[in-house]
Amino acid sequence: MSIAMRYSRDEQDAADILSHAFIKLFKSITSFDANKGSLHSWLKRIVINEALDHIKQRSRFCSEELDEVNDPGIPNSIIEKTDADQIMRLIKQLPPATHAVFTLFAIEGYGHKEIAQQLGISEGTSKWHLSEARKTLQQKLSGKN
Amino acid sequence: MNERTSYEQLIAEKAGQCTVPDMADAIWATIDAGLNEAPGDANNSSQPGNTTVKFTQWRKLWLFAGSGIVLTAIVLIWLNYKSEKSKPENYPQQPKNQPSPVQPKMDSLQIDSVTSKKATHRYSLPAPTAVPLKADSASVKKDTLANLPPVSVPKIDSVQQHQRLIPDSSASVPPPHKQRGVKGITLDDYKIVPVNKDTGNNKN
């Protein structure tokens, strides 16, 4: 549920993502191969794919590209002082496409190449969205404190 | 800078600490409803490829049914074609412009026999001259008819058709008899008219 919550706007959206992911899991449980990975990682993969499908349906990705991601820099102290739910609320205020790229990169730890493959965009576009997310979060967190 | 920053790693740690709403019942109800929409898939999930097998069976069934319908249609068309082809061999072909032969009515045949006067046979027909089939044709004499130019009559078809149907009828009819007796005496002259006796009393 926490994974679904990272990509969704609200609780109901997260519940829909999770239920759809579980239905897919039960329907294709016969194709699960324990040698390839654990059931938990497989379910996590299904939940993320379902969440990205939701995001792709309701948002468009920008066509702008960047070769290098800009980093405005946010002091760690600010992050440490801020409540986890509050940080997640700030992240969800980002545009859906930017929100998805930032979550995949910063929280899930995917590289730009993987993000580009999953979202059907170029690596440069993924970098541009990450730059936008960093810039916006820096402004909001700096302004807040 | 394409690597995760330190503050992003902190954000990832914080993301794991987020409170999760308790919506387990609602989520399981949605999952249950979603799985019940396809009961075959949910109940037989242990059998891989069951849906594909069913689809293949239906496909085969439709294929057989479709091929049977097509085969039946071909046989019917062939039979129809064969029956149409065999028709001209059994029956003599008639000209397309002329209508199909119709049995002539009794009235027209009687009129013809009266017109000719010579024919004694009930179904005898006159010579193939244009004879107007009018209601008062019985009063027209034979000589007058012979001198008249041939007139196209719309109802002549029935007579011609009758001639075609019985082509040898004129040949089989015996030659007309010579008239005997005194000329000018008709059958009406031999009629016995009853004399009413009361008629004279009424006059008086």
For residue range B95-139, what is the model confidence (pLDDT) as tens digits? Answer: 555 555 555 555 544 544 444 444 444 554 555 555 555 545 445
Mean pLDDT in residue range A101-110: 88
Distances (CA, A) of B20 to A12, A43, A56, B24, B115: 12, 17, 24, 10, 117
- Domain residues for the domain of B32 are 6-43
Q: Where are the domains of chain A?
A: 1-58, 61-145
Count residue pairs from A and B with Cβ separation < 8 A.
Answer: 98
Mean pLDDT to the nearest integer, A94-121: 87
Contact: B11, A11; criterion CB under 8 Å: no
Whole-Å CA distances, B59 to A33, B47, B68, B69: 31, 20, 14, 15
* Lowest mean pLDDT segment, chosen from A131-135, B109-113, B182-186: B109-113
A37 touches chain B (CB under 8 A): no
Asked whether residue B22 is domain-assigned, the answer is yes
Per the model's pLDDT, the better-predicted residue between B141 and B61 turns out to be B61
Of the partner residues A1, A22, A23, the one whose CB lies closest to the CB of residue B20 = A1
- The single-letter code of the amino acid at B136 is D
Mean of per-residue pLDDT scores for chain B: 65
Quote the CA–CA distance of A82 and A72 in Å, as a whole number.
18
> Searching chain A, which residue's CA lies closest to the CA of residue B2?
A69
| pLDDT of res. B3 | 75
How far is residue B169 from each of residues B60, B114, B117, B125, B157, measured CA to CA in Å?
68, 17, 17, 8, 17
Do the Cβ atoms of A76 and B10 come within 8 Å? yes
Put simply, whether A15 touches B (Cβ < 8 Å) is: yes
pLDDT of the residue at B70:
92
Percent of chain A at pLDDT exceeding 90: 0
The mean per-residue pLDDT over the stretch B34-54 comes to: 56
Distance from the A15 Cα atom to the nearest Cα atom in chain B, whole angstroms: 6
Query: Whose structure tokens read 């706007």?
Result: A9
Q: Is residue B111 part of a domain?
A: yes
- Is the pLDDT at A133 greater than 80? The verdict is yes
Whether residue B77 has pLDDT greater than 90: yes
Has residue B92 been placed in a domain? no
Q: Classify domain A61-145 at the CATH topology level.
A: Arc Repressor Mutant, subunit A (1.10.10)
- When pLDDT is cut at 50, 70 and 90, the band that residue B164 belongs to is low
| CB spacing of A15 vs B26 below 8 angstroms | yes
ipTM: 0.71
Contact B34 A20 (CB under 8 A): yes
CB of B63 within 8 Å of a chain A CB? The answer is no
Tell me the pLDDT tens digit for each residue of A40-61. 888 888 888 888 888 887 777 6
pLDDT for the residue numbered A59: 72
Report the pLDDT value the prediction gives residue B45, as an integer from 0 to 100: 45
Tokens of A106: 């910063």
- Whether A25 has its CB under 8 Å from any CB of chain B: the answer is no
Picking from A67-71, A83-87, B44-48, B84-88, which range would have the lowest pLDDT averaged per residue? B44-48
In-domain check, residue B57: no
The pLDDT of residue B46? 45
The answer to whether residue B89 sits within a structural domain is: no
Q: Measured between CB atoms, does A10 come within 8 Å of chain B? A: no
Q: What is the distance between the alpha carbons of residues A1 and A5, in angstroms, rounded to a whole number? A: 6
Number of domains making up chain B: 2
For residue B1, give the nearest of A11, A69, A76 by CB distance. A69
